[in-house]
Amino acid sequence: MASVPLRPRRRPATLLTHAGRPAGRTVTVNPPVARTSTVLFDSVATLLQTLAGHAAGERPLLYGRKGTATTQALEDVLTELEGGYRTRLFGSGLAAIAATFLACTRPGDHVLVIDSCYEPVRKLCAQYLGPRGVQVAYFQPDLSDLDAKLHADTRLVWAECPGSLIFEMCDLPALVRQVRARGDALVAVDNTWGSGLLYRPLALGADLSVVAGTKYVVGHSDVMLGLAVANERAWPVLAATAELLGHSVSPDDAYLALRGLRTLAVRMRRQGESALTVARWLQQQPAIAAVFCPALPDDPGHALWQRDFSGANGLLSIEFQPRVGRAQMHAFVDALQLFGLGHSWGGYESLALPVDVGAARSLGGWAGRGPVVRLHVGLEDAQDLVADLEQALSAVA
Ligand SMILES: *Cc1c(COP(=O)(O)O)cnc(C)c1O
């Protein structure tokens, strides 16, 4: 007989609107911004009881660094969105990534990292973990070499889907099957692209979903934030490590992130639709050799994206024909008027950034290709964005 869940999973748009708010009480719609370091207790008995609750994994109000009503409300929405056990907040996406690697590895351990990872992950591995005795190797996003590279002492497998810069898909359920067959390594996924809404790595078997909240969760380019959502297996080591390292997020930043999160579904839908309009138009342009966007039907990752994702975001990258030189590509970016030139993405504004795909890969395969620009499509009118791209392309024609 099928078991009936106590509370069916709320659909994303509904939970983004309602989660993180205490039910059945008279409450403000939004949590207060609890700016505090010190919490005052009415007696030693209450203090001791609070400390015991904290040690048992509860979230009592104890000290600013250990969380407030504001950060807990944000954590609760993210936990429900990702279908996790608990969520830990960090001061940036990279801080969440670094804490996850530190939580899951010790000197002598072996770690496998997807070759399409966000570039600072590669630096963290080469310049911090490597010198401290963690052995790091890279595997292909298509998993063709994963089985051969898995060791009995592999402690962590780090994936990112789709990958950074050109958005290669990865078959996460297949990755999880291979890892589980070979040992007890934890599987962690950089889920910034899907931001919990479009992709739910824990439901596909991963142990940790790590997100740069800076991007779509915050959504307005005004806060740095990281988060890691863990299943029950990964939570104790993640929570202990984050606490030992003293990670803490300001209530003002948590409040802004929660405010951004409430509109994630509508922003993402609109930006995903506009990005597809822009991507289809770019595919017709003779100066463009390739458009990377898994939502395009002819993208090599499209079938996996359709199977595992519930929608698209505003990201795409374009590769110019090899005859277009770097200087012409720079002239194109400089000529754009609606696409700002800057780092990050996931805000309401459109951005363009020249990227070096070859330099961001360890396993090669990019030699001899044309220059690449990553575009982020914001909430502007898609036809205005196409017109902007059209006038800037005439600068390289
Ligand atoms: C931006 C980004 C990060 C890092 O987030 P920050 O908040 O900038 O530290 C991590 N992973 C991916 C895929 C990103 O795009």
Backbone angles phi, psi at 247, to 5 degrees: -65, 140
pLDDT for res 23? 81
pLDDT digits (tens, 9 = 90+) for 383-392: 999 999 999 9
Instruction: Tell me the three state secondary structure of residue 100.
Output: helix
In a domain, 2, yes or no: no
Q: Is the CB of 253 under 6 A from ligand 1?
A: no
- CA dihedral of 295, 256, 189, 139, whole degrees rounded to 10: 80
Query: Quick one: tokens of 384?
Result: 């205005």
Q: What is the DSSP string of 276-287?
A: HHHHHHHHT-TT
> What's the CA-to-centroid distance between 206 and ligand 1, angstroms?
19
pLDDT band at 367 (very low <50, low <70, confident <90, very high): confident
Nearest CA to ligand 1 atom 5: 93
Whether the CB-CB separation of 375 and 317 falls below 8 Å is answered with: yes
Share of the chain above pLDDT 90, in %: 94
Asked if residue 294 and residue 367 are part of one domain, the reply reads yes
Considering only CA atoms, which of 273, 274, 318 is closest in space to residue 292?
318
Mean of the pLDDT values across residues 363-377?
A: 92
pLDDT band at 4 (very low <50, low <70, confident <90, very high): very low
Whether the CB-CB separation of 202 and 338 falls below 8 Å is answered with: no
* The pLDDT of residue 252 is above 50: yes
Asked if residue 125 and residue 22 are part of one domain, the reply reads yes
Backbone angles phi, psi at 38, to 5 degrees: -80, 140
> What's the CA-to-centroid distance between 167 and ligand 1, angstroms?
14
Asked if residue 187 and residue 119 are part of one domain, the reply reads yes
Q: How many domains does the chain have?
A: 2
Establish whether 215 is a catalytic residue: yes
Question: Cα separation of 138 and 397, whole Å?
Answer: 38
pLDDT for res 2? 40
Nearest CA to ligand 1 atom 7: 93
Mean of the pLDDT values across residues 65-91?
A: 97
Asked if residue 103 and residue 216 are part of one domain, the reply reads yes
> What's the CA-to-centroid distance between 189 and ligand 1, angstroms?
12
> What's the CA-to-centroid distance between 42 and ligand 1, angstroms?
42
pLDDT for res 397? 76
Instruction: Tell me the three state secondary structure of residue 137.
Output: strand
In a domain, 5, yes or no: no
In single-letter form, the type of residue at position 114 comes to I
Q: 262, 284, 304 — which closes off a domain?
A: 262
In a domain, 4, yes or no: no
Establish whether 118 is a catalytic residue: yes
Q: Is the CB of 94 under 6 A from ligand 1?
A: yes
DSSP conformational letter for 301: T
pLDDT for res 258? 98
Direct distance between the N- and C-terminal alpha carbons of the chain, in angstroms, rounded to an integer:
65
Domain range holding 148? Answer: 12-262
Q: 217, 244, 262 — which closes off a domain?
A: 262
Query: Who's near 214: CB < 8 A, 6+ residues apart?
Result: 92, 93, 223, 224, 225, 226, 344, 346
Whether the CB-CB separation of 162 and 316 falls below 8 Å is answered with: no
In a domain, 32, yes or no: yes
Whether the CB-CB separation of 94 and 123 falls below 8 Å is answered with: no
* The pLDDT of residue 3 is above 50: no
* The pLDDT of residue 25 is above 90: no
Establish whether 190 is a catalytic residue: yes
pTM for the model stands at 0.96
Catalytic-role residue among 115, 118, 155, 200: 118
Asked if residue 169 and residue 27 are part of one domain, the reply reads yes
> What's the CA-to-centroid distance between 195 and ligand 1, angstroms?
11
Q: Is the CB of 93 under 6 A from ligand 1?
A: yes
Asked if residue 387 and residue 357 are part of one domain, the reply reads yes
Q: Is the dihedral of CA 22, 25, 31, 35 positive or negative?
A: negative
Q: What is the mean pLDDT of the chain?
A: 96
Mean of the pLDDT values across residues 351-371?
A: 92
Asked if residue 187 and residue 96 are part of one domain, the reply reads yes
Asked if residue 289 and residue 232 are part of one domain, the reply reads no
Mean of the pLDDT values across residues 115-139?
A: 98
Catalytic-role residue among 171, 190, 207, 388: 190
Q: Where are the beta strands (DSSP E) in 191-333?
A: 208-212, 226-230, 288-292, 315-320
Asked if residue 193 and residue 77 are part of one domain, the reply reads yes
Whether the CB-CB separation of 277 and 386 falls below 8 Å is answered with: yes
Ligand 1 probe mutation, 116, 161, 189, 192, most atoms within 8 A of CB:
192
pLDDT band at 222 (very low <50, low <70, confident <90, very high): very high
pLDDT digits (tens, 9 = 90+) for 156-189: 999 999 999 999 999 999 999 999 999 999 999 9
Q: 229, 262, 295 — which closes off a domain?
A: 262
Establish whether 138 is a catalytic residue: no
pLDDT for res 8? 66
Asked if residue 253 and residue 268 are part of one domain, the reply reads no
Separation in Å, CA 393 to CA 248, 286, 316, 319: 45, 10, 16, 13
Backbone angles phi, psi at 82, to 5 degrees: -85, -5
In a domain, 3, yes or no: no
Instruction: Indicate which CATH number applies to the domain containing 381.
Output: 3.90.1150.10
